[in-house]
Amino acid sequence: MKKFILLVSIAVSVIGCHKERGNNNQGNNSGIIIKGSIKSSGTKSLQVKSTNALTLADAKKVLVFSKYYYKLFDINDSTFSATAQFGSGAALIFLDGNNKYIGNLSPEGLNVLPLGKLINGENTTIDLSTLTLVGNSVIPAHDPLGNEIEITPKEINALKAIDAYYEAIAKNIDANNNEIPDVIEHKQLVIYTISTIFGGHWGFNETPPTKTDSAHYYVNYMVEFAGGDSLSFSGNSIAVTGPAEDPYNDIKLWWYTKGSSAGGDRGFISSFCRETQAEQGAPWGSAFLPFKQGTYTLTLDGSRNFSLYYSNIDMQYNLFIVVPTLHTNTDGKLVSISFEYMLPNGTPIDPGNVLTNVMVQLCDNRMNQFYVNNQKLTSVTGFDELKFDTPLDISPLFQIDLWYDDLLGNQYDLIWR
């Protein structure tokens, strides 16, 4: 896979503004109804780069997945009705009775439904009509893109991803290998990528922001695991090894939180990195290297092992730049921050169709947060502006962290100084 990033280097200090995110408000959790039907009899699917011998007629379940939502729905009499969260990106994965991967919903080659801009808002119902399997792609007779889902061809192209990501989700549905889907036991495990990117310098009143040239991004990578509320561990007894195919010897625990501080229905969140010295000319002293695709083992309390398959999506599909401009009053205190959203090449893009939320952290030069927006920016709140009811003293401001989740659940931390 061709890598989008040319230079990989960001310091340990960059991730210092990485606290408290498990607890933050995720926005509106209303359910969007998604339904469809499957032909009761069918021939083998057209196999395109796939050895899958199953047909869509073998499908017994639909897994609806987004980072903060993970639920199985039964297929009865060749029809299903599922729900997904408004304002999220939802992948629909079709499984047989043994939870084997058949394929994923893929209208127009897009493997996730962006549910941020809908024709009837949170009251939208999406009827996919009859579904057909082509390779591993499940094609709906009714295309919701440009209909129920308000999205342009440019935005669709920006969201393209690879099928291996969804097959990985299906493989991880029973990580403890007890033949029971983990979500039923509240033991589901999700693995995703965190990327930290140096964006440049923020805008200030009439002075425009200075953006880093996209050919010279400095990027750090981590993997993060989130476990269901029936999973936890003692102390810091959590570890990751792998990939089984060619294991690393430099994976270390970076950060974790447990219990209620993990938020939602999660028992814990924990991140791991591969730390090394940054290259000459990097803005910080440490680099966090990327993780290879493959099978990793998560171990809790030294003996409870869970196998998860990790697919490292090429970041070019889901990297969007959030550009901040600070606005102050006559006393020099911060009254609002406005945001622009664009592709790395500078093309403007509608955030409602490419990301789920934005969290803003303001940090001093010791990476202590002195402000974080408790209510993230979402499709419900709007993405364009963050207003401060009480003007904020920003004399200690050294760094702005703009965190966002893409529609696959991966996290991005855009650093502005």
Q: Using an 8 Å Cβ cutoff, are 178 and 316 in contact?
A: no
Q: Which percentage of the chain shows pLDDT scores above 90? A: 47
Pairwise CA distance, residues 28 & 144, whole Å: 21
Pairwise CA distance, residues 415 & 195, whole Å: 11
Tens digits of residue pLDDT in 109-161: 888 888 888 999 889 999 999 999 998 889 999 999 999 999 888 778 767 65
Tens digits of residue pLDDT in 346-361: 889 888 877 889 999 9
Q: Using an 8 Å Cβ cutoff, are 284 and 10 in contact?
A: yes
Average pLDDT over residues 16-20: 49
- Choice among 91-105, 149-163, 219-233, 403-417 with the minimum mean pLDDT: 149-163
For position 158, what pLDDT does the model report?
67
Q: Using an 8 Å Cβ cutoff, are 128 and 36 in contact?
A: yes
Q: What share of the chain is helix, strand, coil (3-state, %, to 5)?
A: 10, 45, 45
Pairwise CA distance, residues 92 & 32, whole Å: 13
Confidence of residue 263 (pLDDT cuts 50, 70, 90): confident
Whose CA is closest to 133, among 157, 162, 101, 164? Answer: 101
